[in-house]
Structure 1
Amino acid sequence: MKRSVRLIMGLAALLVLIMITACNAGNNEPNKTSTSTSTPTVNPAEPSPSSDVSEKERVVKSLKGDISIPAEPQRVIGLSVVYPEFLYALGVTPIAVQNYHPDFPAYIKEPFKDTLKMGIGKSPNFEAILTANPDLIIAPTWWADKDYEQLSKIAPTVLLPQRDKWQDELRDIAEVLDKKDLAEKIIQDLTNKEAAAKEKLHTLVGDDTVMYMMILDDGLIIYGENIDRGSFIHKQLGLKPIGNFPKSELSVSISLEKIPEYNPDHIILQLNDDSNEKVQSRYKEMLESSLWKNMTAVKKNQVYIMGAKEWFNLGMSPLADNSAIDDVLHAFEKKSK
């Protein structure tokens, strides 16, 4: 009997303990309704909406402040004649360009075969830009500041500062495209090529003087070593300039009658526009002149004709400079044989 009473009491105590434990467990369980409202469940394999936006866009600095642009733009326009060459050097083929000549230079003719030509004007061709449907426009401030509001309505527009050197322009655009390392490689590769060409030309030409002259529709011009294209010839490639060129001048406009005063050993001659009738007429007049025929470079057959559009961006673009190095080496090597 005592054993039965103790058994009943033990069972009762165990039952009470179980009930207490169950109540405590119920009180410690999180509030499922509250948790669901404050923290929605997200599948970790899928990015959140904010993460997705940040992956598709980047914020870059411009002269108009921070601009949100596509992380990987697919349809880019670079305004100004030289910006398209910077873009292509960085691996981006522009969809539309401002073009001075009807045809592209040989070094970009094939890759630009489907690129829209918008021509040169005081203002961008907004209709053509709109038709091209860009997702990014990049432009120097001196070219497009006045048109910024209209351009930015078409696509995100990044205005960049005016620079004295093309290397800095390239770096600015590379910063926008997140390709800074590639820009430095382009600059270094060209520097190496210039150094090799300079050494080769010194072997071919030595201390002979070289004059870089261009025929315009309204006259003749000689470039000195302190202007972009003249610097390329005389500094980067090391070709000795004529001794009586005025050091304080970037370039000098001359008449046909004044040419013999300079009388270099070699002449690099460029027609500003080989399709222009006035340029062609002036060129023909010069070739027939006894003043021209009696110059040292002419007598020695050391005049090198360079293309108009091929050298249009000389000293202002890595692509133009790279192509011009080949042109100069080919011309001087051919004459030396």
Structure 2
Amino acid sequence: MKKVLVLLLLLLSIVLVSSACSNSANTGETEEKEPVAAEETPQEEPEEQPEEEVEETERVVEHMKGETAVPANPERVIVISHVSWEGSLLSVGVKPIAAMTFDDEFAPHLADKLEGVEPIPFDNEVNLEKLLELEPDLLIVSDRFDQVYDELSKIAPTIMIEVGGDWKEDHLKTTEAVGKLEEGQKVIEELDEKAAEASQKLQEALGEKTVMALSINKEDIRVFGRTDHAMNNLLYDDLKLNPYDGIPEGFGENISLEGLTVFDPDYMLDISYFRDTDYFSSVMDSEVWNNLTAVKNDNVYTLQNNWGFWDPIERANGMDEIVELFVK
């Protein structure tokens, strides 16, 4: 009996010790563990969408009156100029709706290309009401009409160009105004190539023989000089003809019939426009004219292309004609 009691007490002690250990473990501090962040799935970058090209509706052109916003692709262009800038437009595929005429005629070398174009009679004053009726979206005008620039610019965006000695500058500004500058430059490059070929033929034919250009006007005679005019640039820069020593250095000068006595070149180019006049006949019949070396040697050549050579179409035609006249 005594042994049984001892055994029971021993078992009870074991149970109490086990219970105490269990409570001690439960009440102890547990180590906090940082939560494991969920692994982020890398997100794909959104594909860049190509920017939509926005079609320009306007361009800004710098000219002698400042800067002017013009239509990106003008469709109703009017040229108001005493030189043939409409030829520059035609050379880059732009046909104006109206252009200036002399004696109610377009320049002969452009007449067939300007069929259907409204003629604007040449005058120092522009018919503003007529222009308004035509509803242009761009006006290209020469500095001759500077005094009415403000009125013109109220009708449509107006680009004013100074008529200078360098036809290329005028041509490029004209083509820039209609958004065709690159095409305008290409036209010049093609003309330069043509001029180089023509010049070679002329040098072989003429050598050091001298040349002078003149125009018999209604009341006097224009002797063209070496520079500052599209005609002079064509003859002496592009075609490299040998100018007569006595001609003016610049644009040229107007002289009387008697003034011709100081000029005596080997060849003369006659680019007279007014031929059906009494003055023209009097010059042709005069002793002064008939005593000139070029006249006596039958070396006066009349150019059919005689509008001033301000545009590339006439310049190309003129090169062909001059080569045909001199190279025989």
Query: Which structure's residues are more often helix, by fraction?
Result: 1
Task: Give how far 1:129 is off.
Answer: 1.3
Counterpart of 1:121, as a letter, is D
Q: Which amino acid is the alignment partner of residue 55 of structure 1?
A: E
2:291 to 291, 294, 301: 294
Contact kept? 2:79, 2:99, Cα under 8 Å? yes
Match of 2:58 in 1: 58
Whichever residue aligns with residue 289 of structure 1, its letter is S
RMSD: 2.6
Q: Supply the AA of the counterpart residue of 1:57.
A: T
Q: Which of these residues, 235, 243, 246, is aligned with residue 244 of structure 1?
A: 246
Distance of aligned partners of 1:258 and 1:62 in 2 relative to their CA distance in 1, 3 Å threshold: closer
Cα distance change, pair 95–193 in 1 and its aligned pair in 2 (3 A): same
Q: Secondary structure at the match of 1:94?
A: coil
Report the more deviating stretch, 263-272 or 148-157. 148-157
What is the aligned partner in structure 2 of residue 43 from structure 1?
A: none
Q: Which runs of 5+ in 2 are unaligned?
A: 1-51
Measure, in 2, the Cα distance between the counterparts of 1:301 and 1:161.
38
Contact 1:62 1:159 in 2 (8 A): no
Corresponding residue of 1:197:
198
Aligned to 1:139: 141
1:325 and 2:319 are equivalent in the alignment: yes
Tell me, in whole angstroms, the C-alpha distance in 1 between the residues paired with 2:223 and 2:259. Answer: 11
The residue aligned with 1:219 is 220
2:43 alignment partner in structure 1 = none
* In structure 2, C-alpha distance between the alignment counterparts of 1:131 and 1:99, rounded to whole Å: 18
* Cα contact 1:78–1:87 (8 A) shared by 2: no
User: Tell me, what secondary structure is at the counterpart of 2:271?
Assistant: strand
Q: Structure 2 CA distance, aligned partners of 1:133 and 1:88?
A: 20
Q: How does 1:147-166 map to 2 (within 5 A)?
A: 147-160=148-161, 163-166=164-167
Counterpart Cα distance in 1 of 2:72 and 2:176: 12
For these two proteins, the number of residue pairs brought into alignment is 275
Q: Which residue of 2 aligns with 1:37?
A: none
CA distance in 1, matches of 2:92, 2:139: 15
Could you tell me how far 1:270 is from its partner in structure 2? 2.0
- The answer on whether the counterparts of 2:57 and 2:72 sit within 8 Å (CA) in structure 1 is yes
Distance 1:175 1:100, change over 3 A: same
Using structure 1 for the length normalisation, give the TM-score.
0.73
Cα deviation for residue 164 of structure 1 reads 4.3
What is the identity, as a one-letter code, of the residue corresponding to 2:257? L
Q: Deviations over 1:286-337 (max 9, x none)?
A: 2222332232212221110124xx32232x222222221122122223xx3x
**Matched position secondary structure for 2:301:** strand
Query: Is the Cα contact below 8 Å between 1:213 and 1:267 reproduced in 2?
Result: yes
Unaligned runs of 5+ in 1: 1-46
Note if contact 2:226-2:248 (Cα within 8 Å) is conserved in structure 1: no
Question: Cα distance, 1:174 vs. partner?
Answer: 2.8
Per-residue CA shift, 1:270-297, capped at 9, x if unaligned?
213235x2xxx22222222233223221
Q: Which residue in 2 is equivalent to 1:19?
A: none
Match of 1:123 among 118, 122, 125: 125
- Give per-residue Cα distances to partners, 1:165-200, cap 9 Å, x unaligned: 221222223333222221111111111111111111
Query: Within 2, Cα distance between the matches of 1:66 and 1:105?
Result: 30
Determine the C-alpha separation between the residues in 2 that align with 1:233 and 1:170: 18
In the aligned structure 1, how far is the partner of 2:98 from the partner of 2:292?
44
Match of 1:111 in 2: 113
Moved more, 163-172 or 83-92: 163-172
Letter in 2 for 1:61: V
Give CA-to-partner distance per residue, 1:138-184, whole Å, 9 cap, x none. 234x2444323332332233345665422122222333322222111
Question: Could you say which residue in structure 2 is the equivalent of 1:34?
Answer: none
Q: For residues 88-107 of structure 1, what are the structure 2 equivalents within 5 Å? A: 88-107=90-109
Whose Rg is larger? 2
- Which residue identity lines up with residue 224 of structure 1 in the other structure? G
Aligned partner of residue 254 in structure 2, secondary structure = strand
Shift in CA distance, 161/243, structure 1 to aligned 2, threshold 3 Å: closer
Whole-angstrom distance in 2 between the partners of 1:244 and 1:61: 41
Distance 2:256 2:159 in 1: 43
1:132 CA drift (Å): 1.9
Alpha-carbon distance change, 207 to 114 in structure 1, aligned in 2, over 3 angstroms: same
